[in-house]
A and B are shown apart, each in its own frame.
Chain A
Amino acid sequence: MSQTDAHRAAEHAARQSYGKLVAWLAARSRDVAAAEDALSDAFAAALATWPAQGVPLAPEAWLLTAARRRLIDMARRRHTSETACDRLLLSLEQAAAETDASGSVPDQRLRLMFACAHPAIDPAMRSPLMLQAVLGLDAATIAAVFLMPPATMGQRLVRAKRRIRDAGIPFRLPMQEDLPARLDAVLEAIYAAFAAAWVDPAALDQRRQGLVDEALWLGRVLTELLPDEPEVLGLLALMLHASARAAARRDGAGGYIPLSAQDPARWNADAIAEAEALLLRASMLRRIGRFQLEAAVQSAHAARRRTGWTDWAAIVSLYDGLLALTESPVVAVNRAVALAETAGAAAGLAALEALADAPALATYQPYWAARADLLARLGQAGPARAAYARALALERDPAARRFLEARQAALTEPRG
C-alpha cells in the first residue's frame, strides 16, 4: 500500500472516529488532553505502519489499542500513584474486553459533549471545547471562529481540559432531573459554534465557513444519539433552515441581501425539506422549546418559497411564544420587526422603544438597524440617520456595511 493510501485511510478513520475515540479514552482516563495526545500518537503510529502492513480490518479498534497503550505509558511516566495507575489499567482493560467482543467502539460522544458543556465550565468555553474534543479542530481554527488570538484560545482550552480532569467532571449522562438544563447547555454550545461561523456570510474565512458544516454535523450526531428529544431535532432544523439560505444572502457582486429581498429559488430545497421533516417529528413529541420555536419562525419564512408571501401574523405569535419562554431582548427585537409588518411601522417602532433600556441592546447591531429602518419608513430622516450610524459602528462585515451605508444615503430630508 502506498503512503497516500495509508494517509487517506488514516484521515478517513480520523474523520469518522475521532470524537468516538476521544470520548471512549476520556471517559476511562477522565482526562481529555491525555486522551487527545494518546490518540494523536496512535494516528502517527498508523501512518508509520499501515503503508507497510496494510490498513487493519478494524481501524478504529487498532487505533484504540494503540492509544490505550500510550495512555497507560503516559500515566506511568507522569508518576501517577501506583493505585491510580492500576485503576486506570483495570478500567481500560475491562472496557477493551467489551469493545473487542463486538469489534466496534461504543459511541460515548454524548458523554463527552455533556462533560464539555458542564455547568462547571465557563459558558464561553463550552463550544470551543466541544469543537476540539469531539471534532478534533485545532486551536487556531477555533480561535478564528471566535475572534480570539490563537495563543489565548489555546491556553483557555488547556485550562478548561485541566479543569475537567482536576474538578472530577464526570463523563456520564446527567441524572433525569438535571437532563433538560444540561441538554440545553449542550444545544447552546453547538448553536454558538454555528452562529459564530454564520456571521461570515461572504466566506472571507474558509475556516469559519467550514464550521457551519461542523456544527451541522454535531447537530446530526446529537439527533442520532437522542432521537426523542424535540429540542435536539429543533436545533438541527433551525441550523438547516439558516444554512439553506446561505447562498441567497449575497448577490453576484457580493452585496448583502436581507431575508425579505432574497430570491427563494436560491434557497436549498433539500435542506429546507430535511428541516421541515425534523420539525414535524419534534412537534409530535409534544414538548415545545426555544429551538423548535426558532426553527418554526424560519419555517414560516421558508414557506414563501411555496406560497409567495410571508405569514407575518404567524411569525409574530411564534415570537410571542419565544418571548414568554426566554424573555430575551434579542427575541423582542425580532418580534418588533415582525410586528411592523402586521401592525405598521409605528407599532413596530413603539415596541422597539419599549426595549430601549435593555443594556444588551446598546451594542446589538440588529436593534439599531431595525430602528433605523422603521424610522426611515415613518419619514423621520434625522433620527433614522443617527440610528444607521449606530448600526454601522457595530457592523464589521463589509457587505452588510455597504448595505447600511446605502440605506443611510437614501434617506431624504422632509421638505418644508
Chain B
Amino acid sequence: MTPEISIHDLHFSYPALSPDDEPNPVLRGIHLEVERGEFVSIMGPTGVGKTTLCLALNGIVPQSTGGTIRGEVVVAGLNTRRHPVPELAARVGIVFQDPESQFFNMTVEDEVAFGPESLGLDPREIRERVDWALMMVGMSQHRHRSPFQLSGGEKQRVAIAAILAMTPRILVFDEPTSGLDPIGKAEVFRVVRELKQRDGMTIVMVEQESEKIAEFSDRVVVLRDGKVALVDTPDRVFAQVELMREIGLAVPQVSELAHLFNTRRNTSYTFTSLEDAYRALVPSVEPVGEVAYGW
C-alpha cells in the first residue's frame, strides 16, 4: 500500500534575511513514511524544525515561504512541489497552537463555513459540511456563539471543525494544546482520537507532553538537528531514556521509573502508562490494606 505521507530526503532552508547571511538549513535530510489512518507524534527540541516540517506537508513550505528545498514530499498522492497550496490544503489540514489568531467571524458557524464557502461550494453542501464538522467536535450547540467567547478547549475544537469542513484526509496539529488547561487538553485529545478511530483519518501531531504522546500515538518521531533521530512505537522510543535526555526531551514519569528499576535492579521493564507500571509492580508486593481512594 502506498503510504499516505511520504517524505524523502527533505532538506530545507528559509530565505536569508539579508544577502550576506548564510542560508540556515532547518531540515537536513528527513525521511518519513506515514500509513493511512496512523497517528504519528513529532517531538523535538525548540528550533529543530517541527513547525517547518508541518508546513512542508501542505506545501506552504516552500511555496509561500520561499527558501531552498531539496527532496520530496508526497501527501495523499500529491507531490507538494507540483500542486498549489489550496489543492494540497483540501487534503492536508493544519491546526495551529493559537486558534484565536485564525478567527475573524462573528459566529462559530460562520467561522466553520468560511473554508467551504471560499471553495465556491453550493449552499446545501456547505451547510452539510458545517453541521458534520461541528458535530464531530461536539460544538453543534454552540454554533451561534462568538468564537471569541469560548473557552480555550472550545476555541481549539472550533479551529479543528473549520479544518474538517474542508474534508481533508490528513490532519496536522502543531502543539494544539500547549496553551490549554487540563480540561481543554482532554477535550482536544478526545476529538482527535475520535477522528482517527471513527473516520480513519491520518494524524500528525507535534506535541511536548510525553504522557499524552504515549497514550495516543501509534508511532513517535524524534527530531534532532533537522533529522529524524528516532522513529518507533512509543514504548520503544520512551525506553531510550538516556538518549531522550541527551536530546533534551521528556519521557513519561513511568518510563523514567522503568529506567530506574532497570539500572538498579537489573529488571527489563518498559512502562509508558500508569497501567503498565501498576501491572508490573503490584504482583511482587503484599497488600497491606484496602483502597481508600484513588485517581
Q: Bound pair: A and B? A: no
Question: A residues bordering B, Cβ < 8 Å?
Answer: none
Q: Which residues of B contact A (CB under 8 A)?
A: none
